[in-house]
Chain A
Amino acid sequence: MKKVKEPETKQIKYKASAPNTVFVTLNTIFMILFVIVTLYPVLNTLAISFNDGTDALRGGIHLIPRSWTLKNYTTVFQKNNLVTGTVVSVARTVIGTLTALAANALLAFIVSRKRFLFRKQLSLFWVITMYVNGGLIPVFLLYKNLGLTNSFWVYIVPGMVSAFNMLVIRTYMEGIPESLEESAQLDGAGYMTIFTKIISPLCKPVYATVALFSAVGQWNSWFDAMLYNRMSDEYTTLQYELMKLLSSVTSQGASAESMKNAASAAGAVTPASVRAAATIVTMLPIVCLYPFLQRYFVTGMTIGGVKE
């Protein structure tokens, strides 16, 4: 069914006929608009984060700050809960990604062994979880009973296995010739040796994909912090703190007056400008990393999207 992409050697030369030129022009305009719509809001936030808070209230800041300041950023890093949030976010991203990767890889290894006796059943057991889940309240009660609420581990343990990520790895592992496993077994290697020494080194690209998926998920999630760890400030996350900042800004209303009052009390920063700075801090790690990881998530999406 699937044709393999052939090298693009022959580029067809198009005659510059009238409809073709129209098409190219319209397409270019569309793409330029697309880029502007995508980038402008982000760049605008960046500009506001470097702009004096009170000054920003006058409006009219687009891409370049009017009066430069770093105060918004220093305010962000002076806020204790934001610092705690950063530490927790980094910790959950690192630990969560590593444990999830190990669990998904091991499970995928088991269900991709052709000789494994319960291969079909174990696969089905996990695929079902993609479609059926208990829902918010039973899950909430379960975590409460397991003692996972008000604890750091609620970020790590429940989400360790994801059927989708497991299927991505499984599909990749199934492409590895079985003879490798057989010949290793002839040499006396056990399954765990085969997993760690033979299969895993071959799976580095797909491991990178899955690690990226779960790292992004961990870094960006806020709902679990709000639902399970609302009462314990020591387990707050950066995203949740950002959410609190957002709701404080919007609930203070659109009235610029109240913001100006807040601004004069807090110096040259306003809730809006601090939020802009916190937003930039939150998005920075991912924005810096993702362009270099493109080929990994593109392969991951194409493997995972079509299968099951």
Chain B
Amino acid sequence: MTEGSPWQNKDHETDSQSAMKAETVCFRNYRKIRVRYFAAVPDDKREVIMTGKTKKVSVPGQTKKITWKEIRRQKILLIWAAAFVIYGFIFCYLPLGGWVMAFQNYKPKDGLLGSQFVGLAKFQQLFSDATFLRVIRNTLAMGVLNLASTFIMAIVFAILLNEIRTTWWKKSIQTISYLPHFLSWIIVTGILHDVLSTSGIINELLVKAGILDNAINFFAHPKYFWWIVAFANVWKETGWNAIIYLSAITSIDPSLYEAAAIDGAGRWAKIRNITLPGIRPTIMILLLMNVGNVLNAGFEVQYLLGNGLVQSVSQTIDIYVLKWGISQGDYSMGTAAGIFKSVVSIILIVMANQIAKRTGEESLF
């Protein structure tokens, strides 16, 4: 901290320095607050500001009781909160009511209340549809493939980037690595089409290297499709996903590395014994968060890259929903498929969380 805050006491600086670091950005701005607010802060509270331990000290003093006085005091907060609840109810919770459609033979002219109730018939129809079973397989396969490849690449990239000692080189690679994340899937798939086309660079290199005799159209063969999607995800998100791991690595105590160096550990040994265990909690949390998203992993890329030739491997649950629901107008069928996806996702999250708890790792809830 080069700039001292106006109330900062020199004696406390070293003591509180590390605690304040985390909130440096926020503290830096306190200068802009008029000093008179601090005049009103009691002395013991001022200590609290400096050590940054506000939460622990101030919470016990407050009892939350719903009293008229308190309600009047917070009137404006309550009004806004109510507005947000109404908004959230309409846009996030009301669509859940639409799930009723999956148990009906929904006709738009009859509405939600007037449509004929058919129980689980739509689900039966869904699971007897060979296409739907194939769609589940595709979604799971691509979800797992994407998760594994983006996950591993991000960790590897973060660790290797951290080993670079030249600052400008490290910074430039990092900046470049973020670039694809900011491009839309439209652009990314367009670029992929160019790169993988028969006259594209990949075919050119493969033919020149003698691996292929003739250029092939990668998008015409189902066996390549999943790998192309995985590659697209890796290309787009590696640098972005590495951000969290990089910050986790920088928070590892440097003295550990020094101690290891004295013991004669090489770089590889340090990575294996210090860096990887150090970022293990972060890895676990992110893995948990992403497991629930496995089924969400497939819409845009598959929709944009898919074509008639690879349809059997490219269709995912979301595309199926779109096809049945919006294009064919069978809302009930589409909703049933959507519910299936949501339920499986939630089961996956809860299961992953339980496993994490059992094995004593970090857990989400």
Interface residues of A (CB under 8 A from B): 1-6, 8, 10-12, 14, 17, 19-20, 23, 27, 30-31, 34-35, 37-42, 44-45, 48, 59, 62, 103, 106-107, 110, 113-118, 122, 125-126, 129, 131-142, 146, 157-158, 160-161, 172, 174-180, 182-184, 186-187, 190-192, 198, 201-205, 216, 219-223, 227, 239, 242-243, 246, 249-250, 254, 256, 272, 275-276, 279, 282-283, 286-287, 290-291, 294, 297-299, 301-302, 305-306, 308
Residues of A within 8 A of B266 (CB): 17, 19-20, 23
Interface residues of B (CB under 8 A from A): 18-19, 21-23, 25-26, 29-30, 32-33, 36-38, 40-41, 45-46, 48-49, 52, 54-55, 58-59, 62, 64, 66, 70-71, 74, 76-78, 80-81, 84-85, 87-88, 90-99, 101, 157, 160-161, 163-165, 169, 173-180, 182-187, 189-195, 197-199, 201, 204, 217, 235, 239-240, 243-244, 247, 250-254, 257-258, 261, 266-268, 281-282, 285-286, 292, 299-300, 304, 307, 318, 321-322, 325-326, 331, 334-335, 338-339, 341-342, 345-346, 349, 364
Please report the C-alpha to C-alpha distance between residue A187 and residue B318 in the assembled complex, in whole angstroms: 55
Q: Could you tell me if A305 and B244 are in contact, using CB atoms closer than 8 angstroms? A: yes
Q: Could you tell me if B176 and A19 are in contact, using CB atoms closer than 8 angstroms? A: no
Please report the C-alpha to C-alpha distance between residue A131 and residue B290 in the assembled complex, in whole angstroms: 12
Q: Within the complex, what minimum Cβ distance (angstroms) separates A192 from chain B? A: 6
Contact A132 to B342, CB < 8 A, known contacts A11-B165, A117-B66: yes
Q: Which 3 A-B pairs have the closest CB atoms?
A: A134-B95, A138-B98, A135-B338
Residues of A within 8 A of B198 (CB): 254
Q: Could you tell me if B331 and A137 are in contact, using CB atoms closer than 8 angstroms? A: yes
Contact A39 to B321, CB < 8 A, known contacts A191-B77, A202-B26: no
Contacting residue for B243 out of A14, A190, A302, CB 8 A? A302
Extra pairs beyond A44-B194, A161-B87, A305-B286 (12, CB < 8 Å):
A110-B80, A125-B85, A134-B95, A142-B90, A142-B94, A142-B98, A174-B55, A182-B41, A221-B184, A282-B186, A286-B183, A297-B243
Ordered by A's residue number, 22 sampled pairs between the chains whose C-beta atoms are within 8 Å are A2-B22, A4-B251, A20-B267, A31-B160, A31-B169, A41-B191, A114-B58, A114-B62, A117-B64, A117-B78, A129-B92, A132-B96, A133-B95, A134-B96, A135-B95, A137-B98, A142-B95, A183-B38, A219-B184, A223-B300, A246-B193, A306-B285
